Amino acid sequence: DTAVSQTPKYLVTQMGNDKSIKCEQNLGHDTMYWYKQDSKKFLKIMFSYNNKELIINETVPNRFSPKSPDKAHLNLHINSLELGDSAVYFCASSQRGQRAGGNTIYFGEGSWLTVV
């Protein structure tokens, strides 16, 4: 069973298009995240949701809009894609208040977005 699953795994699209990446976790966690990893492997948090409520919204263009229909799902919609959006986008989840392991975050396998 995949704990955090995201689709699609690979996405090649043209500049200006709108695309979505879906994410689901079956761990029963109450917090979900979107991270962006660039070509230099720098892993940066974009958004965090706790029980469907946005709690972290880092400085990302407003072309990026997360949507959490329930606490097991966090989708990422990107409008007007630009070349610089090419990256790997990781969905992740954790359980808030978890003492053991601090913020143990479970990552999905990543969605490789290429904008041409």
110 sits near other proteins (criterion: CB under 8 A): yes
CA distance 116 to 62: 20
Binding window for other proteins (CB under 8 A); candidates: 11-19, 20-28, 72-80, 104-112: 104-112
Q: How many CA atoms lie within 13 A of 17 on its CB side?
A: 14
Asked if residues 84 and 63 have their Cβ atoms less than 8 Å apart, the reply is: no
Q: Which of 41, 59, 69, 116 binds other proteins (CB under 8 A)?
A: 41
Cα dist. 96→52, 56, 116 in Å?
13, 13, 38
Cβ proximity to other proteins, 14 vs 41, nearer residue: 41
Residue 104 beta carbon to other proteins: minimum distance, rounded to whole angstroms: 5
Cβ proximity to other proteins, 64 vs 90, nearer residue: 90
106 sits near other proteins (criterion: CB under 8 A): yes
